[in-house]
Chains A and B, each alone.
Chain A
Amino acid sequence: MVNLFEKLNLHSYRLRKFKNKFFYILCLICVIIAIVPLLSILFEVIVRGAPAINLQFLTGKGLRGGIGPAIQGTMILIGLTGAIGIPIGVLTGVYLAEYGTNKYASWIRSINNILTGFPSIIVGITAYSLIVVGLIGGFSPIAGAVALSFILIPIVARTTEESLKLVSNSVREASMALGIHRWRTIISVVLPSAKGGLITGILLGVARIAGETAPILLTIMGSSFFFGGFNESMDALPLRIFINSQLHTQAAQTQAWGAALVLILIVLTLNIGVRLASRGRYHNKVTR
């Protein structure tokens, strides 16, 4: 018997050891390869974008002026989209978390998952057809906001559901034991207890839509002027970057990098802020 066991010990122990080391290094290299583009993007955006930035750049308009209209447009889009998307998203999340044990809710959940993976250009086509061509008859900030809210709603709904589910049931029971109605309990007890998670989800969603380009390309088109009404075309930061990137002049590209720096600052501030605010929970997720 002993003989038999010895015969089976064929594999070189050193080969196994080498493989172990080899794949450790390989995985480490994967991490490094992924971080290189990130660092390169941040580096280029800062180095090429920073020199462009001054007060006139942030407030002026036109290729020689600045990206004032784009910043204003992005703010308007965030405001409008938030106004449409956040209430709908949050209330959808409330339904899924508080009443979502039935078949209907699991359908909504599945569809939300599908919408989160939706190609963003599609919502652009839809808003274009319905609003730009149909309702308003011209490019419109409203069409842009509608398209973006199609993206925002499923994100907010999902994070709302997740954070409401983290609220312990004893909180709900304590409130209902006082004779408070369920709907009042949800609005005045459950939602406030989940405030941190809600804000995290909303900020992440806003960060996402602030950088979306394809849907607004088809709906607000871009403009060199400041906001001129809800039936006029409008500018936005991602759009300005795209449009300028297609103009092969030095001035246009410098302005594109400057706009990229402003956009990335907005988006990363939102993201990092969120990470810091929810550090405890995030930490738990990473470690096992």
Chain B
Amino acid sequence: MIKLTGDNIFKVLVAVIAASAIVILLLNTYVLITGSANVFATSGFGFISGRNWNFDIPSFGVLPAILGTLITSGIALLVGVPLSLGIAIFIVEMAPRAIRVPFSYLVEMLAAVPSVIYGLWGMLVLRFWVLDYIETPLNTHLGWFPLFSGTPTGYGFLTAGLILAIMIIPTVASVSREVISAVPNSIREAAYGIGATKWEVIRHWVLSYGRSGIFGAIILGLGRAIGETMAVTMVIGNASGASGMPVSLFQTGQTLPSLIAGGFFDSQTALLSSAYIGAGLVLLAISLLINVAAHVMMTRVLKVKGGAVE
């Protein structure tokens, strides 16, 4: 029997409050599952594999949005990860000490900018850079290639992916920076000692030693890209239903979050609102999967590190 001392009461109190994390997770999952029961009952698996978003028939499918999410996040990783790694390497291994701190400051300020401001900047600035310097030239010269086909407007998958690339940089770069900093100096010294150049030390030793940690950083960035809503909604063009099935990079489309943010309030019927909540459930499932993978990855890294250092 536990005595009712002040210490025990306090401990139980904070333990109960700490359960808020579980409550939040379960509450969100519960609401999404019950909220979307209607659309899953009507459409079944077709909700995942279907391409229409039409409440006259009614027929709802999130396949275009799932593909749009994967494509924009893919572009984000393709562009953002090399940049982030370059930044992390530069800050930890190359930059003179005096500029390390201000540089990491600047990069981390990217994380402080609210996503709606990224969206505004994307709509009114980045869109025209993408249109003038990437889409139009590629479309003019390589327009026969499906990826570059269609009429470039600056809105669409490419711009959304590029905005996401910028937005994941602070996440991927700062985690990679920590991973790289954690590589023991004895390894660097040994590598320099056999006459490796600085780049060889980074390439063959630092990156190889930190690779699982860096992989974890990339997955965290992927998680951020997949869940990002406003910036994407503002530049992706929000083509709904089958017209959002991705063919060209320059085409307007949809991601799961932008589908919800863009249309949630048009939901006049219970079924439609259930369909949007269903899209949220699919998004939650993908995001949980990625988060758990990142988590497993990172804990494994820490364990491996514990064994590998000496």
Contacts and interface: CB of A to CB of B under 8 A. Distances in A.
Q: Determine direct contact between A and B, CB below 8 Å.
A: yes
A217 B290 CA distance: 25
A241 B113 contact: no
Contacts of A256: 120
Question: Which bucket holds chain A's interface residue count?
Answer: 35 or more
A242 B116 contact: yes
Interface string B1-40: 0000111011101110111111011011001100100000
Interface string B42-59: 000000000000000000
B199 A23 contact: yes
Nearest to B294: A117
Contact of B28 (A123, A210, A288): A123
A62 B115 CA distance: 24
B223 A117 contact: yes
Interface string A235-268: 0001001100100000001001100100110011
Contacts of A38: 106, 109-110, 113
A118 interface: yes
A35 B35 CA distance: 42
A113 interface: yes
Given A20-B198, A181-B7, A238-B114, A105 B18 contact: yes
Interface in B102-120: 103-107, 109-110, 112-120
Nearest to B202: A23
B31 A125 contact: yes
Contact of B264 (A31, A98, A218): A218
A92 B18 contact: yes
Nearest to B166: A37
Contacts of B280: 121-122, 125
A24 B199 contact: yes
A40 to B, nearest CB: 6
Contacts, number: 265
B218 interface: no
Contact of B107 (A31, A117, A119, A150): A31
B103 A119 contact: no
Interface residues of B, number: 96
Given A121-B229, A181-B7, A33 B21 contact: no
A31 B104 CA distance: 9
B15 A99 contact: yes
A110 B292 CA distance: 9
Interface in B256-289: 257, 260-261, 264-265, 276-277, 280, 283-284, 287-288
Contact of A16 (B104, B105, B110, B200): B200
A114 B291 contact: yes
B21 A153 contact: yes
Interface stretch (B85-93, B153-161, B246-254): B85-93
Nearest to A130: B31
Interface centre among A35, A123, A217 (most CB of B within 10 A): A217
A202 interface: no
B142 interface: no
Given A23-B202, A24-B94, A157-B18, 12 more contacts: A27-B87, A91-B14, A92-B14, A92-B17, A111-B25, A122-B280, A122-B287, A238-B114, A241-B119, A245-B120, A260-B117, A287-B97
24 contacts: A24-B198, A30-B84, A30-B86, A34-B84, A35-B107, A37-B110, A37-B121, A41-B118, A41-B121, A88-B17, A99-B11, A108-B19, A108-B22, A112-B21, A119-B227, A119-B257, A119-B283, A121-B227, A122-B227, A126-B31, A181-B7, A186-B10, A213-B115, A245-B120
